[in-house]
Amino acid sequence: MISGGVLRWTATASQPSNTLDAIGMRTTTWSDIGTFRCDMREQSAAEQSYADGVAVVRNVEIRARWQAVENINLSEVCRLTVRGRSLKINAIQNLDEADRVAVIQCTEVN
């Protein structure tokens, strides 16, 4: 079980649009699908070559109640916004397969 006092932040989940443009590609809009309380832990940060320059890539772990994540149908194609930080979801794990704690591995690129 995850203690309610640990869930200090509110995460807003967004999913990509299902609409297609004239050539059949997805449009680049995102729509909010819900919010849930979470804990955010920064795992690591590294400077890397990115696009045409250098960027800081941070790995972040988000912990939340499994039921809250399941209720909004969160998946790896979604994005999270926590404390103003935009996070790409890499993996969602059901800790110990107990349906209590969701561990969400994310990446932030600055």
In one-letter notation, the amino acid at residue 8 is: R
- pLDDT score recorded for residue 83: 94
For 53, the token pair is 């320059």
Give φ, ψ of 43 to 5 degrees.
-90, -50
Structural domain spans, the chain: 4-109
Give the right CATH number for 4-109 from 3.30.1370.60, 2.40.10.270, 3.10.180.10, 1.10.1240.10: 2.40.10.270
Q: Look up the pTM and report it.
A: 0.86
Q: Is 29 helix (H, G, I), strand (E, B) or coil?
A: coil
Q: Is 96 helix (H, G, I), strand (E, B) or coil?
A: helix
Strand partners for 80? 13, 87
Q: What is the mean pLDDT of each run of 10 residues along the chain (110 residues)?
A: 80 89 82 95 88 88 96 95 95 94 93
